[in-house]
Amino acid sequence: MSFPSQKSLKIGIIGFGPFAQFLSKTMIKQGHSITATSRSDYTDLCTHLGISYFRDMNAFLESNNDVILLCTSILSLSQVIKSVPFHCLKQPTLFVDVLSVKEYPRDLMLQVLPHDSDVLCTHPMFGPESGKDGWKELTFMYDKVRIRNEVTCSSFLQIFATEGCKMMEMTCEEHDKLAARSQFLTHTVGRVLSEMEIEPTPIDTKTFQKLVEVKESTSRDSFDLFSGLFIHNRFAKEQLRNIELALETIKQQLFKRMNEELD
């Protein structure tokens, strides 16, 4: 899919953790200019990457970004966004978030951002591990929640389309329903396997090796991220109940069969 217009963007990132660092490398490669701010001091890393790093949020906002990309943890978004001095913005700006839940940041942004700001909710369905060899065929979900400046919005989406992402437009609600049944389920199973301390054995089947991979890849993400998937996706609680119910049903089937066999 191609988006009509592309221009070089000034992108300001709030929250320069692992995912923001990963995204910014491709944005820089494409010729966009990046500024960043975060709770921790990333001055040295940013200097190395060619990014202007601001410790002061006012100066960051005054640096005239076309796009402000929210890359904080799900759990800290509310506190972070409510502390932003929006009066320092010099122009109407496109705010984009990349949080792994979608209704929550959409509602917060609509509630807190200045009315002349545009709002694009996105979820790149990949991370530093799955996207380390490029983004081709990886899914990029987005919802154009409040867009008046189509040129800036298209230019931003084009970053992902250019890399070959599968561009998937859907509502935040639809995303959260599907993500509870896929991403949250994967993370929960991974955390259960981790809690059980499963490890490779000398007689692993291929399928068991895949389970070990699920455990390892999900435990690389922070616990903040995992709890955010649960706390701020209203469909996740139902999934957790479904997992418990399914385990109980399978247990009952096994014991019933055992009793029949041994009678």
Which residues are at the interface with ligand NAP (CB under 6 A)? 15-19, 38-40, 71-74, 76, 79-80, 98-100, 124, 127, 221-222, 224-225
Between 151 and 170, whose beta carbon lies closer to ligand NAP?
A: 170
Supply the minimum distance, in Å, between the C-beta of residue 117 and ligand NAP.
19
93 within 8 A of 66, measured Cβ to Cβ: yes
168 within 8 A of 141, measured Cβ to Cβ: yes
Report which residue's Cβ sits closest to ligand NAP. 127
Between 208 and 223, whose beta carbon lies closer to ligand NAP?
A: 223
Between 81 and 153, whose beta carbon lies closer to ligand NAP?
A: 81
Supply the minimum distance, in Å, between the C-beta of residue 253 and ligand NAP.
36
DSSP letter for each residue of 177-224: HHHIIIIIHHHHHHHHHHHTT----TT--HHHHHHHHHHHHHHHS-HH
Supply the minimum distance, in Å, between the C-beta of residue 17 and ligand NAP.
3
Between 48 and 115, whose beta carbon lies closer to ligand NAP?
A: 48
Supply the minimum distance, in Å, between the C-beta of residue 64 and ligand NAP.
22
Could you tell me which of 105, 107, 108, 109 has the C-alpha nearest to residue 94?
A: 109
Which residue is associated with the tokens 């009315």?
115
Torsional class of 15: left (φ above 0), alpha (ψ -120 to 50), beta (otherwise): left
Which residue is associated with the tokens 């949250």?
184
Torsional class of 197: left (φ above 0), alpha (ψ -120 to 50), beta (otherwise): left
Supply the minimum distance, in Å, between the C-beta of residue 223 and ligand NAP.
8
Supply the minimum distance, in Å, between the C-beta of residue 131 and ligand NAP.
8
Between 3 and 160, whose beta carbon lies closer to ligand NAP?
A: 160
Between 26 and 149, whose beta carbon lies closer to ligand NAP?
A: 26
34 DSSP β-pair partners: 11
Q: Dig out the tokens for 72 from the structure.
A: 């904080």
